[in-house]
Amino acid sequence: MIVDLEKFIKQEQPYWDELEGLIALRTKDAAHESDLAESRRFYYLYRRATSGLARIQPFAAEISLTAKLDSLVSRAYPYVYGGRKEKTRFRPLHWFCVGFPCAFRRQFTAFIFISVTITLGSILGAVAVQYDDESKSTIMPFAHLMGNPADRVALEEATDLEDQMGRHNTFAATLMVNNIRVSIFNLALGITYGLGTLLITFYNGVILGGVMLDYIRAGESVFLAAWLLPHGSVEIPAILFAGQAGLIIGQCLLGWRSALSVRERFRACAQDITMLIYGVAILLVWAGIIESFLSQYHGPNLYPWKIAFGTIQLAVLFAFLLFAGRNQEQEDAHA
Amino acid sequence: MHNQVDIETPEGIRFSLQLAGPSRRLLAWTIDTFMVLAILEMLSGLLGIFNIISADLTTALALIAGFILFFGYNMVLEWVWRGKTLGKWLMGIQVMDIEGLHLHFNQLVVRNLLRVIDILPALYLVGGISMIFSPASQRLGDRAANTIVVVTRKPPETDVSRILPDKFNSLRAYPHLEARLRQRLESEELRIIIQALLRRNKLDADKRVALYEELATHCRSLAPFPDEVTRTLSDEQFLRNVVDSIYNQKQHLA
């Protein structure tokens, strides 16, 4: 209990001012490193301010003083109890080469789930196109996929390479932007307990399965592989990684086989979600460039090269995801 | 809808953060949207230089710049400016961790990515509904990122001069009871008394009498002033004297 409020304020004011100064120092300079003595002083001042707040709170009329101390304690609190690595540096290469593959491996179960979902969708799409001709009009997303694949292949191959050169930059940018936007949406739909993500992925699978079977049935498997593999070997996995991140959000909400609270689960997974979507964005930028500058060129003499390129790219991607950043992982485990 | 979150420190001390309401947040978002549009307009002017090389390249760059700006504006500003964007700063609000800790960049990424759902079908309807049902006024992105949006600007202090008694305050004759009242009356109770007196003319006469009676009885129970003092005062006058006793002490300290 404070007997003499005036004396109390006079006595404590210099300590509050000193704490205010130390907070300002840290706020202005995020890279500020305090030594042991300064940290101890900061903690002492923080404890003194919290104690002052506890003593002043019962004084009804001291609304502004309570608010001032409330504000002081709330600003000092995160520096005492931490939570943020102040020196989070902009390291895009490290995030992609280490953060992204590590997150992928940590959340591998979600990747299995999303892969199974797209596979089931593909099977349904293929079965639907095989046994129900009318389903093609429902499944195919673009008009140019509605016709006979053999006609399209003949047309594409007859077009001179010079004529195939078009507005590649705009096309690549449009592909990147649209694919990343769709991936973000797929991720965000995880907030529907993962159901929205699963549905979107399943639907993508249906389209993919339908298109693939349509071309295989028409005897255009080589064209299909040469058309899809160069960019699809990156684009399709990237869409799956976005779905993987969406399922992580769903799992955080569901809490299946977890003793943590929703808040703790989200806190534990936020970094993996960020790393996955970052990796997705980089991969989709690459896929956009490949789709615009390579996939759209058709000709029988190009097919073996395009298929080889796509296959190697797919192998490299999964080798990267399985092995990259393992040293860092081990270091973190030791730490 | 709740208007504050209380955080208890490991030392057992509680401090509170005032939550920003939907209207304030919507205004901040509107300002930020105009800001993004203005930057885009400037950028498209600047990117026109690339027309010398290729119109195709200019269109591609404009598309990418617009996309990065749409998603990056909030993320980057909230990270660099510790939870604020221009709109938030103007509206006196900022993003904070729900436990009062520092924001992680990951949290900002998650809250801003989930904006694509919150904004649906238009004008943040999904996010708005989520805020109404959330105890910490969180949209879906905030829930997933463990963030809240709080008011940083302090509310103006209530001007109590209008309700202070014009006559002599008879309670001053009993400083020990005034002191007891000051210590026992809680801030929230004092706020209710002040608001009840300030809104005097807006209250229905019967309800006003009943409310003042209830408040005065409560104050008397906290500090039992002698009957000869309270008998001569109406409940309203007694409450005005209570406010005067408390604030007069504060002014004296100042």
pLDDT digits 0-9 by tens, A38-73:
889 999 999 999 888 888 776 656 667 777 888 888
Query: How far is Cα A302 from Cα A311, in angstroms, rounded to an integer?
Result: 14
- A113/A212 same-domain check: yes
CA A3 to chain centre: 56
Looking at residue A72, its pLDDT comes to: 87
Of A66-70, A161-165, A183-187, A330-334, the one with minimum mean pLDDT is A161-165
- Indicate the residue of B13, B54, B246 with minimum beta-carbon distance to A169: B54
Total number of domains in chain A: 2
> To the nearest whole angstrom, how far is the Cα of B219 from the nearest Cα of chain A?
12
- Residue B18 pairs in a beta bridge with B4
Clarify whether residues A31 and A152 are in a common domain: no
Rounded to an integer, what distance in angstroms lies between the CA atom of residue B34 and that of residue B54? 29
Q: What is the pLDDT of residues B206-251, one digit of tens each?
A: 889 999 999 999 988 888 888 887 788 888 888 888 888 877 655 5
pLDDT digits 0-9 by tens, B102-159: 888 999 999 999 999 999 888 889 998 999 898 899 999 999 999 999 988 665 666 6
Full domain range(s) for residue A12:
5-81
Looking at the structure, do residues A159 and A256 belong to the same domain, yes or no?
Answer: yes
What does the pLDDT read at residue B254?
Answer: 42
Report CB contact under 8 Å: A61, B186: no
Q: CA-CA distance, B182 to B192, in Å (whole number)?
A: 15
Q: Using CB atoms, pick whichever of A64, A86, A263 lies closest to residue B146.
A: A263
Please judge whether B246 and A50 are an interchain contact, meaning their C-beta atoms are less than 8 angstroms apart. no
d(CA A189, CA A206): 19
**Is A237 in the same domain as A210?**
yes
Residues of B in contact with A82 (CB under 8 A): 101-102
- Taking an 8 Å cut-off on Cβ atoms, the answer to whether B11 and A57 are in contact is no
Q: Are A3 and B176 in contact (CB under 8 A)?
A: no
Nearest to B63 among A5, A74, A173 (CB): A173
The backbone region for A219, taken as left when phi is positive above 0, alpha when psi lies in -120 to 50, beta otherwise, is: left
Which of A85, A273, A285, A293 should we substitute to test contact with B (largest number of B Cβ atoms within 10 Å)? A273
Give B7's strand partners: B15
Cite the DSSP H helix spans in chain B: 22-47, 55-80, 86-91, 105-113, 115-118, 125-133, 140-145, 175-184, 187-198, 205-222, 227-230, 235-253
Looking at the fold, whether A123 and A146 belong to one and the same domain comes out as yes
Q: Indicate whether A69 and A107 sit together in one domain.
A: no
Contact state of A81 with B182 under an 8 Å Cβ cutoff: no
Establish if A87 belongs to a structural domain: no
A301 and A273 in one domain?
A: yes
Domain boundary among A81, A111, A133: A81
Pair (A305, A239) in one structural domain: yes
Cβ separation B117–A191 shorter than 8 A: yes
Q: How far apart are CA A169 and CA B203, in angstroms?
A: 68
Q: Do A76 and A101 have their domain in common?
A: no
In chain B, what percentage of residues exceed pLDDT 70? 93
Q: Pick the range with the lowest mean pLDDT from A209-213, A302-306, A315-319, B169-173.
A: B169-173
**Token reading at A62:** 């001291």
Between CA B187 and CA B171 the distance in angstroms is 20
CB A129 within 8 A of CB A265: no
Q: Chain B residues with CB inside 8 Å of A86's CB?
A: 102
Per-residue confidence at B252, pLDDT binned at 50, 70, 90?
A: very low
